[in-house]
């Protein structure tokens, strides 16, 4: 286990776990967490042994209750904040993670909390989940991708109702919206996320990364270009399979 101030990072086999770890503040996202997240995502991207990642929140009450409002009230002016963000932007880094990321969501998942979850590939929620984006009511808008990632997952009208009318979802609604893949009893949340992770980790890592890339990059491309991307990725895997087959024969 490695030491971060606001996160716990563990690796077991090919499965890495990142735990948002400020339970006394419902894991609210502060500047230190942004820096820790930037570090840990960089480490994950560079680590070929990591095949899949699980994001979760420490404590009973929340995955993450959004931006740290106490810190936010004393925030630096926007220009300074933007400069820092340019240098250490975990949200941009999330988009570069080649391994699949699973979010295990419980309790409050608000603001930056749901924006982290929206950067993940598979979301599993426990029955007590409460998901919302209160930013507009606070006179701001989500700035960690939420206005772009949320409508891509739940559609424009549902995203706008959540954003503009501060509609919070429970687990059943989040499932109906397609925001979470499944909802499980709270005591089965981590076990379920780990089972999904194990299943992913048991497949060829290059095939897993290629499939993620085909879907994630392909979704932002016109169909013809998406099909071309798929062809290139499939051909790359075909070459690798042929090579290992040949090497297997010569090694015999
Ligand atoms: N930033 C900083 N601290 C936060 C926080 C946040 N976003 N959310 C919760 N906390 C802190 C509380 O200040 C409290 O700390 P304290 O014990 O030192 O007073 C602790 O976490 C527990 O929160 P509390 O409000 O007592 O829990 P609750 O169960 O009564 O309410 C919420 C839970 C999530 C409804 C409530 O904390 C809340 O509305 N938080 C702010 C959500 C928000 O607007 N986030 C920003 C999105 S941009």
pLDDT, tens only, 157-168 = 999 999 999 999
Ligand 1 — pocket residues by CB below 6 A? 25-26, 28, 65-70, 108, 110-111, 134-135, 138
Residue among 23, 25, 26, 34 to mutate when testing ligand 1 (max atoms within 8 A of CB): 26
Strands (E) in 72-145, as ranges, are 101-105, 108-110, 122-126, 130-132
**Lowest mean pLDDT segment, chosen from 7-21, 77-91, 194-208:** 77-91
Percent of the chain with pLDDT over 90: 86
pLDDT at 241 over 80: no
Nearest CA owner, ligand 1 atom 45: 66
Q: How far is CA 72 from CA 23, 175, 190, 206, 210, in A?
A: 18, 31, 31, 41, 39
pTM: 0.93
Q: Which residue, judged by its Cα, is nearest atom 1 of ligand 1?
A: 68
List the residue whose alpha carbon is closest to atom 37 of ligand 1: 65
- The mean of the pLDDT values for the chain is 93
Q: What is the pLDDT of residue 9?
A: 98
Distance 26 CA to ligand 1 centre (A): 6
Q: Which atom belonging to ligand 1 lies closest to the Cα atom of 61? A: 29
Q: What are phi and psi of 187, to 5 degrees?
A: -75, -5
Query: Hey, what long-range contacts does 80-89 have (CB within 8 A, 24 or more apart)?
Result: 84/31, 88/34, 88/35, 88/38, 89/38
pLDDT in tens, 115-169: 999 999 999 999 999 999 999 999 999 999 999 999 999 999 999 999 999 999 9
Interval 24-75: pLDDT, tens: 999 999 999 999 999 999 999 999 999 999 999 999 999 999 999 998 767 5
Q: In this structure, are strands 2-3 and 7-12 parallel, antiparallel, or unpaired?
A: antiparallel
Residue 64 CA, ligand 1 centroid: distance in Å: 10
The pLDDT of residue 100? 98
Interval between CA 67 and ligand 1 midpoint (Å): 10
Catalytic entry in 10, 135, 173, 225: 135
Determine whether 24 is an active site residue. no
Are the CB atoms for 115 and 149 separated by under 8 Å? yes
Q: Atom 2 of ligand 1 has which residue's CA nearest to it?
A: 68
> In the predicted model, is pLDDT for residue 252 greater than 50?
no
Rounded distance between C-alpha atoms, residue 45 and residue 76, angstroms: 29
Task: Give pLDDT, residue 245.
Answer: 67
Q: Active-site residue 230, yes or no?
A: no
Residue located nearest, by CA, to atom 44 of ligand 1:
134
For 60, residues 6+ apart whose C-beta sits below 8 A from its C-beta are 23, 107
The Å distance, Cα 45 to ligand 1 centre, comes to 32
Vertex 1: Cα angle to 95 and 129 (nearest 5): 55
CA distances (Å), origin 137, targets 72, 78, 165, 231: 15, 19, 8, 45
76 pLDDT more than 80? no
User: Beta strand pairing status for 2-3 and 122-126?
Assistant: unpaired
């Amino acid at each position: 286990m490695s030491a971060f101030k606001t996160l716990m990072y563990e690796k077991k086999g090919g499965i890495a776990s990142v735990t948002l770890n400020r339970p006394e503040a419902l894991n609210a996202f502060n500047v230190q967490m942004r820096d820790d997240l930037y570090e840990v995502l960089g480490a994950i991207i560079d680590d070929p042994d990591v095949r899949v990642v699980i994001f979760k929140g420490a404590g009973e009450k929340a995955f993450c209750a959004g931006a740290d409002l106490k810190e936010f009230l004393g925030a630096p002016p926007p220009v300074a904040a933007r400069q820092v963000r340019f240098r250490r932007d975990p949200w941009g880094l999330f988009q570069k993670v080649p391994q699949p990321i699973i979010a295990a969501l419980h309790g409050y998942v608000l603001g930056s909390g749901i924006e982290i979850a929206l950067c993940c590939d598979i979301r599993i929620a426990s029955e007590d989940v409460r998901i919302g984006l209160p930013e507009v009511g606070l006179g701001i808008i989500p700035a960690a991708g939420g206005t772009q990632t949320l409508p891509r997952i739940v559609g424009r009208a549902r995203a706008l109702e959540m954003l503009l009318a501060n509609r919070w979802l429970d687990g059943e609604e989040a499932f109906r919206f397609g925001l979470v893949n499944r909802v499980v009893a709270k005591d089965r949340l981590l076990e379920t996320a780990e089972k999904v992770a194990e299943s992913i980790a048991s497949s060829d890592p290059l095939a897993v990364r290629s499939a993620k890339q085909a879907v994630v990059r392909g979704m932002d491309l016109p169909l013809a270009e998406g099909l071309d991307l798929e062809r290139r990725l499939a051909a790359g895997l075909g070459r690798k399979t042929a090579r290992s087959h040949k090497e297997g024969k010569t090694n015999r």
